[in-house]
Structures are given as C-alpha cells and as structure tokens.
Amino acid sequence: MRKSLIYLAIVIGILFLSLCLEAEAEDRRFFAGAGLSYAVEDFDDGDLKKLAGSDSIDNAWGFNLFAGYWWHKHFAVEGNFNWYDDFEAKVDAVNFDIRIWTLMLDLKVISPSLWEDRLFPYLRIGAGWMETEVDLSGNSSDDGDFAYNVGLGFDVFVKDRISIGLDGKRVWGTGDVSEFNHFVATLRVGYHF
C-alpha cells in the first residue's frame, strides 16, 4: 500500500507541475483508438495452486480501447480499458479460467520526436480498477480492487492524424486482486482529432 501511495503522489506531482507549464498550440490534441493485446501472467498463484493443484496458467490475448488528450507537447492523459480472454489452467480433470479487465487513467510523459515529428516514445504511469473472475468447475468468484501500472511505448504517425504504436506495461493489483499481476504488450492504432 505504501508503494501505491508513493506512485500516486508522483503522478499527482507531475500533473500539478505540468499544469503550471504553458501549453503550446498543437494539432492532434484529442485521440482515440484500439489495440490487440497479449497478457503474460505473473500471478502470485499460491492460492490458485491450492484450488487447482498446479501453477500452470496460460497467457491470454485481449483488446485495448483508449482515448485521451495531449495537453502539452510532452504530457498527455489517457484513459484505457483492457479486457483479456481467459487465462486457462488444466490439471487432470480440473480446469479453471481467470477473466480480467482493467480500467485505468494514465499520465503519459512524451519524449520529443525522434524522427521528423513522427516517432514519439513515452513513459506511462497510472491507476484504476481491476476486476477478476475465477471460474473453477462452474463455481465462480468475482473480485475487484484498485490497480496501478507503469510502462513504456511509442507512437509513429503514418499519416497526419493516424498513428500506430507498441505499448508495454506492468500491471499490479492491490487488495482483493493483488494476486493477478501481469505484463501486457499492445499493438495500437490511434486517430488524432
């Protein structure tokens, strides 16, 4: 919990300082898009082992929806929704599935363009909500709690208003979802209004 509060204080500090900066006139301020994700589980699976008798859990594909506002040339705020298909485990006749979705609000710190005002690397940090459902032989258990994430990525403008990008982040759950940490890589396509 202490680590979560430190990350939250950093995000609030960066937001406060960046709001004091004068925003420069830019095109492409609002943006939205979608992406294909691959989630690699890094679950603290001690309790899951007790349920299923194994720590063999498959990774999962999913999708990402995002929208945001680029309010300064080096800062943007982005809301994103991630949904993952079942993380599956199979042990003899026992199967269980884990379904996860997250809703996050991230601050993106954007590097100056690295190539002809088209390639923009960034760092992201944010927090939000994680919801999980564990389904073991028809018995399911739902939990939800606060989660946070940190990641890196880049966007490349292939047209004036269309970008493609690659984004990677580490997601940590807290409280009731603290066992469901994971890494996510997302191939994204965005439109900048």
Please report which helix (H) or strand (E) contains residue 146, including its range. Answer: strand 139-157
Round to whole Å and give the CA distance between 175 and 13.
25
pLDDT at 89: 75
Residues of the chain with pLDDT under 50: 20-25, 52
pLDDT at 54: 52
Q: How many CA atoms lie within 13 A of 187 on its CB side?
A: 3
For 22-59, b/e burial (b = at least 16 CB within 10 A) is eeeeeeeeebebbbebebebebebeebeebbeeeebee
Round to whole Å and give the CA distance between 6 and 2.
6
pLDDT at 60: 94
pLDDT at 21: 45
Please list, in sequence order, all residues whose beta carbon lies within 8 angstroms of the beta carbon of residue 177, skipping any fewer than 6 positions away: 130, 131, 132, 143, 144, 145, 147
Largest CA distance in the chain: 62
Round to whole Å and give the CA distance between 115 and 93.
54
Enter the pTM of the model. 0.79
H-helix segments, the chain: 2-20, 46-52
Place of tokens 């909500």: 129
Q: Which amino acid is at 17?
A: L
